[in-house]
Chains A and B, each alone.
Chain A
């Protein structure tokens, strides 16, 4: 069943979407209605990193999918993974640190400071 829906009642969009992208989203919305998925009615706005934004935009250009479809798919995959895998199993791959902490780590990995005696003992198999 097709229903006419105005472009501003789109189910899903990000704050940085431009007009042309919004126009593309309309057709995405029609696809969801046709498939009987009435869930595409909630609009969210999210702050994301410049890096993620640029990755999304590159992927959208390369694959020819809409941003709404990409984000909807990504969320569904993420939720499916969480349902499939108990929380006890999940070890997040990426650990995001505060700027100060991350910069301290940079200094540390480049440092030639000698290891302490406790670490030397452990590596020798003592104790």
Chain B
């Protein structure tokens, strides 16, 4: 079996047969990931492949965290602008490729992007929009749930935004 690699989504990629078992994620990947990537440029999708079929994908975009209100004490400790993050809004693995570590490979790739972002533009952490079934997986890695007042995804069922600090990710490489 060929080595699995992660690369940017290409226009020529066949997305029509992708099926991860979640209708919303399949619909996003089949219908909108291309527009997202090539037309609107509002996020980037990377795919895991070991040949022709796409095994999985992850969609990321830069974002920022801010507080609805901030105490004076916190305000003094922070610069007067929001905290930059990398947002992993969608991650899915094709049904036949599940339980092969593809999801972890894609997440590790996204962490690598976050580390690059930290070095080039600034990034304090990664936010994933976790589907209900994936919450325990992310929690086990150290992600903590966020109490979002505004800015959650409009998907149904509503995913839970969860945060992991970039320091933790960098330290895990040591």
In the complex, are the beta carbons of A119 and B149 less than 8 A apart? no
Nearest-neighbour CB distance to chain B for A87, whole angstroms, equals: 5
- Residues on A with C-beta less than 8 A from B83 are 105, 109
In the complex, are the beta carbons of A119 and B66 less than 8 A apart? no
Contact with B along A70-92 (1 / 0, CB 8 A): 00000000000000011111111
Contact with A along B104-124 (1 / 0, CB 8 A): 110110010000000000001
Question: Knowing A88-B32, A123-B169 touch, does A103 contact B67 (C-beta < 8 A)?
Answer: yes
In the complex, are the beta carbons of B144 and A108 less than 8 A apart? yes
The contact of A95 among B77, B161, B165, by CB within 8 Å, is: B161
Instruction: Name which residue of chain A comes closest to B69, CB basis.
Output: A99
Question: Knowing A97-B146, A123-B172 touch, does A111 contact B28 (C-beta < 8 A)?
Answer: no
Q: Which of B149-174 contact A (CB under 8 A)?
A: 149-155, 161, 163-169, 171-173
The A/B interface has a contact count, at CB < 8 Å, of 152
- Residues on A with C-beta less than 8 A from B85 are 95
- 26 A-B residue pairs with Cβ-Cβ distance under 8 Å, sorted by A, are A85-B42, A88-B155, A89-B32, A89-B40, A91-B61, A91-B63, A91-B87, A93-B64, A94-B63, A95-B87, A95-B161, A96-B148, A97-B65, A97-B147, A98-B67, A99-B67, A99-B71, A102-B74, A105-B125, A105-B163, A108-B163, A111-B167, A115-B172, A116-B142, A118-B142, A125-B105
B: which residues have CB within 8 A of A?
24, 27-28, 31-32, 35-36, 40, 42-43, 59, 61-71, 74, 77-78, 82-83, 85, 87, 89, 101, 104-105, 107-108, 111, 124-125, 127, 140-142, 144, 146-155, 161, 163-169, 171-173
Closest 10 CB pairs of A and B: A102-B67, A95-B151, A92-B151, A101-B147, A115-B172, A96-B150, A123-B172, A98-B147, A119-B172, A115-B168
